[in-house]
Amino acid sequence: MSSARFAPRSAALVLLVLLVAQLGGCGEEEPPPDLRQPVGWDDALRLPDAEDHDPAPGVVEVHLEARVAEVEVVPGLTTEVWTYNGMLPGPTLRAKKGDRVVVKFENHLPEATTIHWHGLRVPAAMDGTEHVQKPIEPGEGFEYSFTVPDAGTFWYHPHIRSSAQVGAGLYGAFVVEDAVEEAPLGDELLLVMSDIGIEEDGSLTPADSSGWFGDYFGREGSKVLVNGKILPTVSARAGVPQRWRVLNAARSRYIRFAVPGQPLVLIGGDGGLSESPLPVDEVKLAPGERAELYMLPVEGEPVVIPLLDANRFHLPTEEKPKELMRLDLVDEPPGRGAQPLPARLAEIASIDTRGAQGRSVEFMQQGDPEGAVLGINGQTDGSLMLSARTNTVEIWTLTNTTNYDHPFHLHGFFFQVLDIDGAEPPVRAWRDTVNLVPEETVRIAIPFDDRAGMWMFHCHILDHADLGMMAMLHLMP
């Protein structure tokens, strides 16, 4: 994987784990498999799925309502959070690959909004930006309707004043399952990571706190949340695999964590499973990015999963770790019979780049240090518009000439990272977001299909997008 930097974990430990898993599966008089999670293992973290109001197979109809709701995020305090259906995060939308999804949406916020389906390859008219739809005013509604062509961990969030609206709580996960092709990879644990600014009296930190400074550096909320909770606990049992779907829904914060004492294998990212598993020591997600992790616990102690400093400003020293969540390894006999991870998780064709059109995209800044503006290719008001042709392949050379990290995100299409400073990523995977480190050159290949229209690309530090680090791609037949 590219933008997320995954250090290879000690190969010996991983081999051991895979070996243990394998041994559980052979032998003559082996006892039956026992792969039960501990009782109530995910009670503190399970997120409700949105109800499907259409009984027909192949169709999922959900009702979403954006509204301000009183939520106890900090124990003992009430906060007026901006929510979908009164929940933080919003309900999980769940569908099967190929399903038709209908979302009947109503806006009861005090201001206009839209919904963007981050990572889903929907028609342009359903993409939720102001370039393709009218803002949905308070009291109004809109019906989104599209087919979900890919399995993976996606998400939804507003695309008007998105830094303020996402920062106030408007986001939810969108899981598309592939029941047919995927091997069982453990019990699913969906982890929506984010942060929120809450003051001592429980009120939300104003969306524009610290003015230009907040825009330029990107606002990080005072509370880090996992599924809307501060420092929640998941239980696990040695030998019983869990499949973590992790999403960074924070407005500007990067999420970097490790799981002390436990082996982690990266099995997927933005666009579903990767081609092959990649053992990792830690995971780093820029805002908007996702990771799928396979965790087959070994015996050990309960631990706090630390939130490590992602150092997106490239300061000389790292901050000391904060606390993200707890992993409680229960004192029960280890489970038995976990299948080894398949060596090949998904078929991901390499992109034929012969004859591909090349293009350079530079994330840059302009102006003096006290009031610098951010932009793309010299345009700092979000007005840059590129055009491309449907059913072509393009190679984009992405650079970052500022001093800090910025995650590049493209709407509507997956891409593959070809190389970073000339080096190929360790596994092939589909992405929609890639972190750009200052002075690094990232080359991506984008296969455009026939979905003509206006597509956005921008920095997914949402404060930066709102400051002008955004642009449009007009895809024409």
Q: Interface residues with Cu ion (CB under 5 A)?
A: 118, 406, 411, 459, 461, 464
> At closest approach, how far in Å is the CB of 302 from Cu ion?
37
Q: Which is nearer to ligand C2O, 409 or 443 (CB)?
A: 409
Three-point CA angle 399, 171, 144, nearest 5°: 95
Contact 325, 226 (CB under 8 A): yes
Q: Per CB under 6 A, does 93 bind ligand C2O?
A: no
> At closest approach, how far in Å is the CB of 243 from ligand C2O?
23
Q: Which is nearer to ligand C2O, 42 or 463 (CB)?
A: 463
Q: Which stretch binds ligand C2O (CB under 6 A): 43-51, 71-79, 257-265, 452-460?
A: 452-460
Measured distance CA(463)–CA(392) in Å, rounded = 32
Contact 441, 458 (CB under 8 A): no
Q: Which stretch binds ligand C2O (CB under 6 A): 48-56, 98-106, 346-354, 454-462?
A: 454-462
The contact pattern for ligand C2O, residues 126-165, with x = CB under 6 A and - = no contact, is: -------------------------------x-x------
When binding is defined by CB under 6 A, the residue of 9, 97, 116, 245 that contacts ligand C2O is 116
> At closest approach, how far in Å is the CB of 411 from ligand C2O?
6
**Among 81, 80, 64, 79, residue whose Cα is nearest residue 156:** 64
> At closest approach, how far in Å is the CB of 404 from ligand C2O?
19
Measured distance CA(246)–CA(429) in Å, rounded = 16
> At closest approach, how far in Å is the CB of 404 from Cu ion?
7
Residues 6+ apart with CB under 8 A from 143: 102, 103, 104, 105
> Where would I find the beta strands (DSSP E) of 272-339?
272-280, 283-285, 290-295, 303-308, 322-329
86: left (phi over 0), alpha (psi -120 to 50) or beta: left
Q: Per CB under 6 A, does 251 bind ligand C2O?
A: no
Partner from ligand C2O, Cu ion, none contacting 456, C-beta within 5 to 8 A by type: ligand C2O
Q: Which is nearer to Cu ion, 42 or 466 (CB)?
A: 466
Six-digit token pair at 385? 């518009």
> At closest approach, how far in Å is the CB of 471 from ligand C2O?
11
Q: Per CB under 6 A, does 409 bind ligand C2O?
A: yes
Q: Which is nearer to Cu ion, 336 or 464 (CB)?
A: 464
Give the phi and the psi of residue 275 in degrees, each rounded to 5. Answer: -65, -40
Residues 6+ apart with CB under 8 A from 324: 193, 224, 226, 231, 255, 257, 304, 305, 306, 307
Distance of CA 463 to the CA centre of its chain: 17
Q: Per CB under 6 A, does 290 bind ligand C2O?
A: no
When binding is defined by CB under 6 A, the residue of 24, 186, 288, 453 that contacts ligand C2O is 288
Give the phi and the psi of residue 11 in degrees, each rounded to 5. Answer: -60, -30
Q: Which of residues 328-347 bind ligand C2O (CB under 6 A)?
A: none
> At closest approach, how far in Å is the CB of 465 from ligand C2O?
7
Please tell me what DSSP assigns to residue 207: T
Q: Per CB under 6 A, does 456 bind ligand C2O?
A: yes
What's at 466, amino acid-wise? Answer: D
Binders of ligand C2O: how many residues, by CB under 6 A? 10
When binding is defined by CB under 6 A, the residue of 237, 411, 443, 451 that contacts ligand C2O is 411
Q: Which stretch binds ligand C2O (CB under 6 A): 80-88, 192-200, 257-265, 453-461?
A: 453-461
Q: Is the dihedral of CA 265, 270, 272, 273 positive or negative?
A: negative
Measured distance CA(270)–CA(357) in Å, rounded = 24
When binding is defined by CB under 6 A, the residue of 243, 428, 458, 464 that contacts ligand C2O is 458
Q: Which is nearer to ligand C2O, 118 or 121 (CB)?
A: 118
Residues in the chain: 477
Partner from Cu ion, ligand C2O, none contacting 458, C-beta within 5 to 8 A by type: ligand C2O
Residues 6+ apart with CB under 8 A from 166: 157, 158, 249, 251, 462
Six-digit token pair at 375? 């932009």
Q: Which of residues 175-234 bind ligand C2O (CB under 6 A)?
A: none
Measured distance CA(167)–CA(81) in Å, rounded = 9
Residues that bind ligand C2O (CB under 6 A): 116, 118, 157, 159, 288, 409, 411, 456, 458, 460
